[in-house]
Structure 1
Amino acid sequence: MIKVTSDSTCDLSPEILTNYNISLMPLHVVIDEQDFRDGVDITPADIFKYVGEQGKSCKTTAVNTFEYDTFFKEMSSKYEAVIHICLGSDFSSSYQNAKIASENYSNVYVIDSNNLSTGSGHIVYEAAILAKEGYPVEVICSKLEQLIPKVDASFVIDKMDYLRKGGRCSGMEALGATILKIKPSIEVVNGKMAVGKKYRGKFERCLDQYVKDRLENNENVDYSRLFITHSHCSPETVERVKQTIRQYADFDEIIETTAGCTISTHCGPNTLGILYKRKN
């Protein structure tokens, strides 16, 4: 039996994790020098309280080699093979640390997702489906490597406060965005984070245009699956996005998931993305 594992950053729903027996390795969230484990000791709501209400500093840190070694030791002894999908190597040193730890085990395979959130989640979910269908580990890893460059991941951010606090934009940029009501889209391009189109106006209207831009007349969309992943958006906002998606594309399944602590730490509340696969 093949075991699929991932970093906590994959942002898959508890139902998917349970149904496919996927185990997660939590990254660390450090708030004013106090260390928490993502999704274990801390939730996004806690982050919004500490950072948004109390003004504390918050950052995420990678899983270290010792932690991965302990994790792989337990998993490799129970399963024929372990496939671990990491947060993209350009976002964190977790991949490098996992790769080093895996060298102690002949049946542990570490995959660099080159992505984050449910961009990685697509890879994890695909691996779990293939494992459940009985594919050999080498075939699964090969299929995942082919899929990785086809994942389309992007988000729209309501406010740039958390990007500013994390040092990812200047105070002047954040102030200007607030005054002009700019909602930037953040895209993953070749494994790196990049600023995409900048929307203006109310958040919900910006999301309408964002969905249209991503999906309208896009012949390269794989319609098998789309994730809507968000950080504390209202149910009404998410439902509106679902309806907008259906205007432009007919996906076999649309899965809503909540962003974990990593996305929440850097982007804050009212962040939403649609993440899907491309044909090429």
Structure 2
Amino acid sequence: MKPYAAGMSWGEGPRWHDGALWLSDTQGSKLWTDHGGRWTATELESPSNGLWFLPDGRLAAAMMHEKRIGVWTGERFAAYADLSGLATGPLGDLVGDRHGNLYVDDVGFAPGEPPRPGRLLRIATDGSAAVAAEDVEFPNGLALVDDGRTLLVAETGAQRLTAFTIDADGTLRDRRLYADIAGLVGNDARPDGIWPTPCGVWVATTTGHAVALVRENKLITAIGTGAAFPIACCGDDGNRLFVTLADTGGRPLFEALAAKAVQATVAVADLEEVR
């Protein structure tokens, strides 16, 4: 992998759209993008987390602590859906279907609170929301596969990817194992961000120090990240995979996070070379 960008505190929700990369800096409360040919970071009053482009081209974001979905105006994330009466913890990753329906992580507990299972929330195009799945062990990365018929969620706490069948009305059923990340990559591997491709799903494994391509509980390949912790990933319109990395200076990840001693970067891999 080659360096692509630097200067973030923690890079989440990377998305490629219209020739540009966008990502949330959840620790620095900034929205980063190289739209227009140069990197810019817009200060936010409260951090965004997961990002997704709606069918009409608007950028939607899971506002991590405000418990709402916002849409980007060019200066701020305006109101789109209020989840404050539904979410039990901070909001995480965000993904949407071709019709504009969204799914978002409800992590279930805030930093400093005892861990408890989280949930997945579904937001309809009119902004109404409902619980889509419960008892999810630290929900993290989200992706749609099988032409939008299956939702995948990275359960960081359970070290696995879990699949749900999506019914025509958007409800989820038939929960099942998609990939045992600990078994495939190693006991230290904890999935965070994920990105679907025709060949499988790329998984940023954080403490596993690799991004791994998996499919139906099989490991296809993996790219090591050295001492860096891979947080999230996304592809562009071609053969590149962008990966956000966390550098803790050799300190344990959660210790460095608590001390705000993490520096984040973006690296890019040429998938033609990986194959």
Same fold (TM over 0.5): no
> Which structure has the larger Rg?
1
- Greater relative contact order structure (CA < 8 Å, 6+ sep): 1
Higher helix share: 1
TM-score computed with the length of structure 1 as normaliser: 0.30
Normalising by structure 2, what TM-score? 0.30
Q: Which has the higher strand share?
A: 2
